[in-house]
């Protein structure tokens, strides 16, 4: 007996395809656990058959995945995953929470299209996130992060300190004398306003790589979390497959500046006396700023000429007290110092470091940790004094590790001294100092000299 087209069912050993009253075709199958599941509805029977055949093939190959395991909303799952990770430093945990709330489980405007709309990846279930959805989200994050970063730089340009710096720069260009610190004379401010209209320009607000760092951080967090979901058996594959997205910030970052030894001593002399040795030790040790300013007397062994890195200064807002763990487990290390650094450090500790094992080596006059803002202000004045306005404090660490690479240090030695847990960052210093091609050419000259 032949049934009508609207009620005909095409049975399979592990499923069936049927036509619904709406005209669409529904595919269902019995999973390995014996439960009947619906794959969905399709506009044609051929598409329903194809979907069912694909699912049956997955069961036959032993790669079938229960779609119900990924039903939890992505944002909710990420919060639980971050909260249960005991390996995260407080600052890293705070960063992950901020990225989650700002980009992954948030409404991100999507540019283009006839009507404005937003992308919110966090409200989707883990299993429903596709590579296409991740690509759309990543494009939205990249555009919005760039827009927000541009607005921040524009606001910063109108800050009093930036305005005062612009007035002083204008005065110097026009041969007008003004003190490097203190209040700006009213007549000078008025002259600057009349000449420039009070506009402070900042080319950083128009850079093409604006927002790339935060966008790359958000993508890395999403990729790492989804990889964990795969490992937990919640989803069959990681949908984050955008080539180069996780390295976008480093790929578009400008080259780090290198400080020469002569510039080092000039820079140290331009710093307040209390913090001159901090510049020297930073340059000759390669310690991160947070590690350097978290050093206590108990971490310094002047007789052996080394310092022990066991902690870092906590970032504001992380709620972990003064100190936090190092950036990674590899950050805990002993760093041997050259003689110049040992002598500078010994003189500093004799004059400025209070007694007691727990006293901060490079603390303030009251024994408190130096804030990042205070350090930046002092360093900016010092770099301006030596004509190197392009320098940042981190360039001291970069310069230090480049010098270490020039000594012929191996990759493991570079990683150990810098406190790197992976070779990626250490390789950058090796590449910066790599003169292998020149050495090869010189050896070839010796083997095959020019014909007389």
CATH code for the domain in which residue 18 is found:
3.30.730.10
Query: Which CATH number characterizes residue 407's domain?
Result: 1.10.443.10
* In contact, 109 and 76? CB cutoff 8 Å: no
Q: Are residues 312 and 371 in the same domain?
A: yes
Residue closest to 105 by CA, chosen among 68, 79, 143: 79
Residue 349: the pLDDT is: 96
In which domain, by residue range, is 44 found? 9-64
Chain mean position to CA 78: 18
444 belongs to a structural domain: no
pLDDT for res 426 = 67
Give the length of the chain. Answer: 452
Listed in sequence order, the DSSP H helices in 174-302 are 186-196, 212-231, 248-251, 261-270, 276-285, 289-292
- 19 plus 127 within the same structural domain: no
User: From CA 246, how far away is CA 2, in angstroms rounded?
Assistant: 58
442 assigned to some structural domain = no
Q: Is the pTM of this model over 0.75?
A: no
DSSP 101: I
Picking from 311, 331, 327, 336, the residue whose alpha carbon sits closest to that of residue 415 is 331
311 and 421 part of one domain: yes
Same-domain check for residues 21 and 103: no
Residue-level pLDDT at 369: 92
Q: Are residues 195 and 280 in the same domain?
A: no
39 lies in the same domain as 130: no
Residues 20 and 83 in one domain: no
Three-state DSSP at 371 gives coil
Contact 293, 370 (CB under 8 A): yes
Distance CA 407, CA 400 (A): 11
* Number of domain units in the chain: 4
- Evaluate whether residue 2 is within a structural domain: no
Domain-located, residue 357: yes
Decide if 176 is inside a domain: yes
> What pLDDT sits at residue 192?
75
What pLDDT score does 440 carry? 58
For residues 168 and 180, the answer to whether their CB atoms sit within 8 Å is yes
The whole-angstrom separation of Cα 127 and Cα 236 is 8
CB neighbours (10 Å) of residue 23?
A: 9
Q: Domain holding 123: CATH number?
A: 1.10.150
DSSP 289: H
User: 408 and 273, same structural domain?
Assistant: yes
- Reading the chain (452 residues) residue by residue, the pLDDT tens digits are 444 444 444 444 478 899 999 999 999 888 877 788 888 888 999 998 998 888 888 888 877 767 777 888 999 999 999 999 988 878 788 899 999 999 999 999 987 766 778 999 999 999 889 999 999 999 999 999 988 888 877 776 667 777 787 788 778 777 787 777 778 888 888 787 777 777 676 555 556 677 888 999 999 999 999 999 999 888 889 999 998 887 776 554 445 678 888 899 999 999 999 999 999 999 999 999 999 999 999 999 999 999 999 999 887 665 567 888 887 777 899 999 999 999 999 999 999 999 999 999 999 999 999 988 889 889 988 998 898 888 889 999 988 888 888 887 888 888 888 888 777 766 666 655 555 555 556 666 666 655 55
Residues 55 and 95 both lie in one domain: no
Is residue 338 one of the residues assigned to a domain? yes
Same-domain check for residues 270 and 163: no
Same domain, 274 and 413: yes
pLDDT on residue 1: 43
Asked if residue 3 belongs to a domain, the reply is no
Quick one: pLDDT at residue 12?
A: 47
DSSP string, 8-50: -EEE-SSEEEEE-TTS-EEEEEE-TTS-EEEEEEESSHHHHHH
30, with CB counted inside 10 A (0-12, 13-18, 19+), is middle
**Is 407 contained in some domain?**
yes
| 293 and 333 belong to one structural domain | yes
Given 18, 42, 64, which residue is the final one in a domain? 64
């Amino acid at each position: 007996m032949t049934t009508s087209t609207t009620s005909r069912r095409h049975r399979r050993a592990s499923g069936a395809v049927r036509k619904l009253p709406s005209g669409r075709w529904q595919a269902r199958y019995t999973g390995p656990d014996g439960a009947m599941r619906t794959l969905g509805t399709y506009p044609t029977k051929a598409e329903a058959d194809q979907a069912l055949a694909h699912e049956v093939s997955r069961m036959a190959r032993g790669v079938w995945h229960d779609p119900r395991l990924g039903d939890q909303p992505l944002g909710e799952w990420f919060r639980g995953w971050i909260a249960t990770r005991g390996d995260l430093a407080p600052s890293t945990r705070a960063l992950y929470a901020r990225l989650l709330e700002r980009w992954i489980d948030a409404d991100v405007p999507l540019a283009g299209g006839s009507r404005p709309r937003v992308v919110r990846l966090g409200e989707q279930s883990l299993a429903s996130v596709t590579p296409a959805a991740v690509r759309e989200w990543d494009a939205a994050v990249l555009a919005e992060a760039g827009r927000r970063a541009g607005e921040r730089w524009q606001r910063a340009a109108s800050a009093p300190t930036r305005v005062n710096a612009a007035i002083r720069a204008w005065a110097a260009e026009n041969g007008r004398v003004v003190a490097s610190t203190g209040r700006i004379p009213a007549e000078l401010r008025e002259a600057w306003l009349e000449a420039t209209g009070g506009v402070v320009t900042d080319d950083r607000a128009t850079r093409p790589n604006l927002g790339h760092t935060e966008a790359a951080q958000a993508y890395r967090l999403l990729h790492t979390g989804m990889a964990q979901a795969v490992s937990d058996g919640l989803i069959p594959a990681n949908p984050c497959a955008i080539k180069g997205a996780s390295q976008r910030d480093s790929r578009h970052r400008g080259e780090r500046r290198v400080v020469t030894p002569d510039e080092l001593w000039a820079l140290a002399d331009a710093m307040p006396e209390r913090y001159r040795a901090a510049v020297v030790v930073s340059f000759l040790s390669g310690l991160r700023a947070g590690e350097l300013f978290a050093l206590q007397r108990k971490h310094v062994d002047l007789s052996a000429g080394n310092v022990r890195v066991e902690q870092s200064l906590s970032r504001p807002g992380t709620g972990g007290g003064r100190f936090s763990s190092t950036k990674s487990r590899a950050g805990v290390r002993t760093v041997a110092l050259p003689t110049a650094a040992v002598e500078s450090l010994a003189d500093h500790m004799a004059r400025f470091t209070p007694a007691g094992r727990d006293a901060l080596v490079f603390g303030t006059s009251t024994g408190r940790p130096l804030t990042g803002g205070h350090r930046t202000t002092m360093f900016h004045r010092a770099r301006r004094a030596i004509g190197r306005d392009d320098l940042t404090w981190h360039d001291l660490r970069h310069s230090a590790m480049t010098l270490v690479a020039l000594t012929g240090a191996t990759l493991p030695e570079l990683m150990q001294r810098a406190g790197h847990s992976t070779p990626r960052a250490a390789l950058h210093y090796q590449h910066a100092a790599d003169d292998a091609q020149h050495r090869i050419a010189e050896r070839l000259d010796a083997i095959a000299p020019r014909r007389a």
